[in-house]
Structure 1
Amino acid sequence: MNIRVADIHGCYERWQARGAEFITEPMEKYGETRCYIRDPDGYIIEVGQSKPGVVYG
């Protein structure tokens, strides 16, 4: 699963403060910033933010 957000660093800080279990910190890769979080059932979810001006496809 992938969740797209407008402010990944803000989400990372807010969700971590609320007890979210992050597997990685936000990192830049392939024209976007991503981090990975584990949900309460143990599934890994990618959280990503696209960079302005990056064209996909």
Structure 2
Amino acid sequence: MADFPTEGMELTRLLVVSDLARSRAWYEDVLGAEVERAYEGACVLRLLGAWLLLVTAGGPTPDKPTVAFEPPGDPDRVSAETIFRVPDCRGAYRTLRERGASFLAPPLDRGREIRAFFRDPDGHLFEISELTR
């Protein structure tokens, strides 16, 4: 019986996007992701040592017969987000804004952390967070 998790495993985050070329450019230009490979309907990115897979919408397949992939329908209703722990939230905020990130609000000091939220072109939510204590 194989262990789980075990040595040699990696985690990939999949995001469904509406326009693959637009999203690929945003992830490269704004977040600094590197394209590992791209093929029809998908793009594999490397970001901070992790894998990010961008895919376009699609219907059920034999191995997921009841599941359809769609980009977020309402960006104000979120079931998952991606968080970047940063050493300087305000500095990261300035850099990301200069690169084209659209933030929901400026960084907010919540006592134990300073954080700010932004979205990709399809509305996937991202957070930058700095621990202050």
TM-score by length of 2: 0.37
**Aligned residue for 1:15?**
96
Percent identical across equivalent pairs?
Answer: 35
Tell me, in whole angstroms, the C-alpha distance in 1 between the residues paired with 2:83 and 2:93.
Answer: 14
- Cα RMSD of the aligned pairs, angstroms, is 1.2
Deviation at 1:40, TM superposition (A): 2.6
Larger radius of gyration: 2
Tell me, in whole angstroms, the C-alpha distance in 2 between the residues paired with 1:10 and 1:25.
Answer: 11
Tell me, in whole angstroms, the C-alpha distance in 2 between the residues paired with 1:9 and 1:30.
Answer: 14
Tell whether 2:107 aligns with 1:26: yes
Moved over 2 A (4+): none
**Structure possessing the higher relative contact order (Cα contacts under 8 Å, 6 or more residues apart):** 1
Tell me, in whole angstroms, the C-alpha distance in 2 between the residues paired with 1:16 and 1:37.
Answer: 9
Which amino acid in structure 1 is aligned with residue 101 of structure 2? A
Secondary structure of residue in 1 paired with 2:123: coil
Secondary structure of residue in 1 paired with 2:121: coil
Q: Aligned residues, how many?
A: 52
TM-score by length of 1: 0.79
Tell me, in whole angstroms, the C-alpha distance in 1 between the residues paired with 2:114 and 2:102.
Answer: 18
**Aligned residue for 1:39?**
120
Gaps of 5+ in 2: 1-81
Gaps of 5+ in 1: none
Q: Is the 8 A contact 2:92 2:128 kept in 1?
A: no
